Amino acid sequence: MMLANRYGPIYRRGLAAVVLLLAMGLGLFLPPGAEAHFTSTGYSDITVKEQELQYLLSFGEHDLMEALKLDQDGDGKLSEQELSDASESLKAFVNDGLIVTGDGKVGQAAIKQVKKTLRAKMPMVELDLVYAFPGKVERFQVQYGFFYNGTNSDHRSFATILLGGQTVTQVLNQNNAILQIQGSSQTQESGQAGAAEEKTSFKGVQPASQGSASNPWYLTLMEYVRMGMEHIWGGADHLLFVAGLIVATRNRKEVVRLITAFTVGHSVTLVLAALELASLSPILVEPLIALSIVYVAMENLNWTRKIPMNRTTLTALFGLVHGFGFAEILQGTLAGHIALPLFSFNLGVELGQLAVVAIVLPLLWVFHRSLKKAYDRWLPGASGLIGLFGVFWFIERVFSI
């Protein structure tokens, strides 16, 4: 018994090291290229004129290469030559995925320009489209259907509609794929009549004959809350960091304090990054997020005693880093309508995080109370496994730059 007490710390550290090494070995067989934050995102910048609809359509380079097999040399990048060679494929792709009508008449896309660009720090392909009609159009309808055939069913496009000097935003996805927009001339007339608030209307997937509905604030709130929840649930590294925080914490007040510190940290940078007041390249953010997981695992094993900073402060600092990862999906999407989408997305992240904590934490506490000795032996292995994924992601992200 005395030997067990004396050599217990050595045993626990040795067990954690063995688990970490074994897990690193397994990590070599995991499929490469697993992006923690990859989301299929596009942009639809629409300007409404009397007789035409100007549509600036942007796709992620990765999405386009995957959908059209454009990477001819297999280097994982899209060259200008490959883009030029794909002009006919791009034209067919646009005609298949985007249907624009003016007063019920289908318009044909004229592709003015195709170019590579950066948006929200992501490599993208931008297509400058014009849908022209022979006369004034009272109502346009846009049906967006890219990547919904199973390629990227979670794809979304952030639509910004410029109409009569005002801007309206909308998120297009598989469940909200149709926009109905009043024509520019009709908007000016209704504005003169004092009904400017009704000059843009939207629909989801319902037939146009059912009439149009306005774009109420609660739909925007619900959409961005859902996006925030999906983003935290789809971000395995964020969840693993939170798991690392709570797995070794047995005090309820400490759990609340740590989760609050993490929330405050990432909320600050989420706001700053989404407002484009602060930015940090994903080249730095992604490896740092992975290292934060490694650090939490090491701290659970008491390998960081010499660092003169308490866990709450460090958690808040790590939250600042994670905030840039959360904000990646919002950068370049909020335009002038920022308060509600930003609040809603942040709320979604918090609700998603709390849902995970609410499920996992009671199970850990029950396990600890009923099987205290087993829990003490299991904790080093669990922390080692968490640390492994952090190490694996760090190496993967550094060498994928």
Domain, as residue range, for 261: 2-30+223-399
* 279 shares a domain with 385: yes
Task: Decide which of 215, 233, 268 is a domain's last residue.
Answer: 215
d(CA 174, CA 166): 26
Residue 208 has a pLDDT of 34
Asked if the structure places residue 384 within a domain, the reply is: yes
Residue 136 has a pLDDT of 93
Q: Number of folded domains in the chain?
A: 2
Asked if the structure places residue 243 within a domain, the reply is: yes
Asked if the structure places residue 36 within a domain, the reply is: no
* 70 shares a domain with 192: yes
* 210 shares a domain with 62: yes
Asked if the structure places residue 195 within a domain, the reply is: yes
Task: Decide which of 181, 215, 249 is a domain's last residue.
Answer: 215
* 161 shares a domain with 272: no
* 173 shares a domain with 260: no
Residue 312 has a pLDDT of 86
* 281 shares a domain with 199: no
* 275 shares a domain with 174: no
Asked if the structure places residue 45 within a domain, the reply is: yes
3-state secondary structure the chain: CHHHHHHHHHHHHHHHHHHHHHHHHHHCCCCCCCCCCCCCEEEEEEEECCCEEEEEEEEEHHHHHHHHCCCCCCCCCCCHHHHHHCHHHHHHHHHHHEEEEECCEECCEEEEEEEEEEECCEEEEEEEEEEECCCCCCEEEEEECCCCCCCCCCCEEEEEEEECCEEEEEEEECCECEEEEECHHHHHHHHHCCCHHHCCCECCCCCHHHCCECCCHHHHHHHHHHHHHHHHHHCHHHHHHHHHHHHCCCCHHHHHHHHHHHHHHHHHHHHHHHCCCCCCCHHHHHHHHHHHHHHHHHHHCCCCCCCCCCHHHHHHHHHHHHHHHHHCCCCCCCCCCCHHHHHHHHHHHHHHHHHHHHHHHHHHHHHHHHCHHHHHHHHHHHHHHHHHHHHHHHHHHHHCC
Residue 21 has a pLDDT of 42
Task: Decide which of 185, 215, 245 is a domain's last residue.
Answer: 215
Count CA atoms within 13 Å of residue 100 on its CB side: 26
Asked if the structure places residue 282 within a domain, the reply is: yes
Asked if the structure places residue 35 within a domain, the reply is: no
* 177 shares a domain with 130: yes
* 63 shares a domain with 161: yes
Residue 4 has a pLDDT of 38
* 290 shares a domain with 311: yes
* 164 shares a domain with 78: yes
Residue 212 has a pLDDT of 37
* 10 shares a domain with 115: no
pLDDT in tens, the chain (401 residues): 333 344 444 444 444 444 444 444 433 333 333 344 556 788 899 999 999 999 999 998 888 888 888 877 777 778 888 888 888 999 999 999 999 999 999 999 999 999 998 876 678 899 999 999 999 999 999 999 998 766 667 788 888 888 877 777 778 888 788 888 887 655 444 444 333 333 344 443 333 333 333 456 777 788 788 878 877 887 788 888 888 888 877 677 888 888 888 888 888 888 887 777 777 777 788 889 889 999 888 888 876 655 656 888 888 999 898 888 777 666 655 555 667 777 888 888 888 888 888 888 787 777 666 666 666 677 777 788 888 888 888 888 887 65
